């Protein structure tokens, strides 16, 4: 063999060896996994932190923080060569005008967060006794709870209970209460959450949240001596237009679209860096690394960053509603990602076939979802990383819009305000008895709230999964069509 040719061949072989695992051809999923990093994703989070800092600490729908986050995202996608679609999304929201409370006779101010879509108090507010059901009651779930604690004309203080806040408010109203103050018992008693009234028509009493620490102290005070509270809650309906941001590969089959999404907006009380900036940043980094090879994928990949998820999946619902039946059928699967880098993280894969929640689950996802789950679970286990299945309905996010449309779904959630068990701490590490994300929906959900190693692990997992389905969705299609 001539020397020049031999030298060239050696150079080619050496180059191939630098990028290929020994003994097999290049795998697009492995290539994409190796090309991304949590450090690169974290750079996007710094930009979104700056966006929140310039917007009063939030990136919520309708704020400059969301607009700046979207602008940053679009610029980077366009620079990478994607054609970006900025889909307008109309929304309705409940804007708070006044939320304040004060107890007497001490005159102490109380921090309250009016629930979204709560009825308002009368002009001037309510001045009423503050009462709380006894500790051995059902926490306001039963009418009998108010036999020892009369609620007529009072403001009732209630913890979250198994019967749900809607039932608690209905029972309190039947007992004659004028308003409800609620709280979420967690290992972080100073946290406070602005919750959502899911059925405004049936919500007959004004309701607001308080911290667990204040609530438990106030409840104890009411059992020693009378306490009154002046409560003023007022809000009104607003409308606006936000956006979904979508980008897709130039290549790939149009009839086998792989979709992956994460919401871009935060709640109004937080910068939203783990919820859900971390997933949005990992998705952006995956898109940027796929961009140079976007013409070569077998199946088209469509990335989505949703607006108004915190208003109850408004952006994803709007997107699905605008698709024809054929366009929905062309989506082979949808992957959703939430809170993927919390400081006390878990790894919860959507239980697509309901095989792990036979007694308590809400049922399987659309046919094909089980195949999606097996791919995600298989990846993590192959890397020696623990995962747990989680019932579809236990993760309230944008995958629900796709589920309702009959599209196979999957994805990962890192956990929110729930408490990590000893068993889960043994699986994932971290602190048993604490929340998965102590800063969930709190002002402390900043870049300091991110577990950098877990961000790296899940960014690589996301990239591998998207790369795998970009190359092959045959198992999902076979399960979907075999069950249809």
Residues with a known catalytic role: 309
State the Cα angle at 85 between 41 and 307, rounded to 5°: 65
State the Cα angle at 133 between 127 and 139, rounded to 5°: 120
Sign of the four-CA dihedral 413, 418, 422, 423: negative
Residue carrying structure tokens 């109850």: 312
Burial group, residue 11, by CB count within 10 angstroms (0-12, 13-18, 19+): exposed
- Measured CA to CA, the distance from residue 2 to residue 132 in angstroms comes to 92
Structure tokens given for 375 = 């791919």
* Exposed e or buried b per residue across 261-271, where buried means at least 16 C-beta atoms within 10 angstroms of its C-beta: bbbbbbbbbbb
Closest of 195, 139, 198, 162 to residue 416, by C-alpha: 195
Q: Hey, how many other C-beta atoms are within 10 angstroms of the C-beta on 127? A: 14
Residues β-bridged to residue 112: none
HSE, side-chain direction, 13 A CA sphere, residue 197: 26
* Exposed e or buried b per residue across 152-177, where buried means at least 16 C-beta atoms within 10 angstroms of its C-beta: eebbbbbbbbeeebeebbbbbbebeb
Structure tokens given for 458 = 């899940």
Q: Do residues 347 and 119 touch, judged by C-beta distance below 8 A?
A: no
* Exposed e or buried b per residue across 67-93, where buried means at least 16 C-beta atoms within 10 angstroms of its C-beta: ebbbebbbebbeebebebeebebebeb
């Amino acid at each position: 063999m001539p020397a020049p040719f031999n030298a060239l061949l050696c150079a080619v072989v050496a180059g191939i060896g630098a990028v290929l695992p020994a003994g097999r051809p290049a795998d697009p999923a492995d290539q994409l996994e190796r090309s991304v990093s949590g450090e690169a994703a974290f750079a996007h989070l710094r930009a979104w932190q700056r966006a929140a800092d310039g917007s009063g600490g939030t990136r919520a729908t309708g704020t400059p923080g969301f607009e700046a986050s979207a602008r940053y995202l679009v610029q980077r996608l366009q620079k990478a060569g994607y054609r970006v679609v900025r889909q307008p999304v109309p929304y309705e929201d409940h804007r708070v005008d006044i939320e304040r409370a004060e107890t007497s006779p001490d005159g102490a101010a109380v921090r309250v967060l009016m629930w979204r879509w709560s009825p308002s108090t009368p002009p001037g507010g309510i001045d009423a006794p503050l009462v709380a059901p006894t500790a051995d009651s059902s926490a306001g779930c039963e009418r009998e709870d108010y036999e020892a604690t009369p609620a007529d004309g009072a403001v009732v203080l209630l913890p979250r209970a198994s019967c749900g806040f809607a039932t608690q408010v209905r029972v309190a109203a039947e007992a004659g209460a004028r308003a409800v103050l609620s709280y979420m018992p967690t290992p972080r008693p100073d946290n406070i959450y602005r919750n959502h009234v899911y059925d405004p028509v049936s919500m007959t009493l004004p309701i607001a949240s308080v911290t667990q620490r204040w609530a438990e102290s106030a409840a104890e005070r009411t059992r020693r001596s009378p306490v009154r509270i002046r409560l003023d809650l007022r809000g009104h309906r607003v409308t606006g237009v936000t956006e979904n941001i979508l980008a897709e590969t130039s290549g790939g089959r149009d009839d086998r679209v792989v979709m992956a999404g994460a919401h871009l907006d935060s709640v109004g009380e937080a910068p939203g860096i783990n919820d859900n900036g971390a997933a949005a940043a990992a998705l952006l980094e995956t898109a940027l690394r796929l961009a140079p090879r976007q013409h070569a994928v077998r199946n088209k990949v469509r990335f989505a960053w949703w607006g108004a998820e915190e208003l109850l999946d408004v952006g994803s619902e709007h997107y699905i509603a605008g698709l024809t039946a054929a366009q929905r059928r062309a989506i082979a699967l949808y992957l959703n990602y939430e809170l993927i880098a919390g400081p006390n993280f878990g790894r919860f894969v959507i239980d697509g076939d309901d095989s792990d929640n036979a007694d308590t689950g809400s049922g399987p996802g659309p046919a094909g979802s089980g195949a999606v789950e097996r791919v995600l679970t298989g990846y993590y286990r192959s890397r020696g990383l623990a995962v747990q299945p989680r019932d579809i309905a236990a993760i309230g996010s944008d995958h629900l819009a796709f589920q309702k449309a009959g599209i196979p779904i999957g994805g990962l959630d890192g956990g929110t305000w729930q408490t990590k068990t000893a068993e889960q701490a043994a699986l994932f590490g971290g602190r048993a008895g604490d929340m998965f994300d102590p800063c969930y929906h709190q002002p402390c959900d900043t870049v300091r709230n991110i577990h950098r190693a877990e961000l790296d692990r899940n960014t690589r997992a996301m990239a591998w999964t998207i790369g795998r389905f970009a190359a092959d969705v045959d198992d999902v299609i076979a399960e979907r069509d075999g069950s249809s």
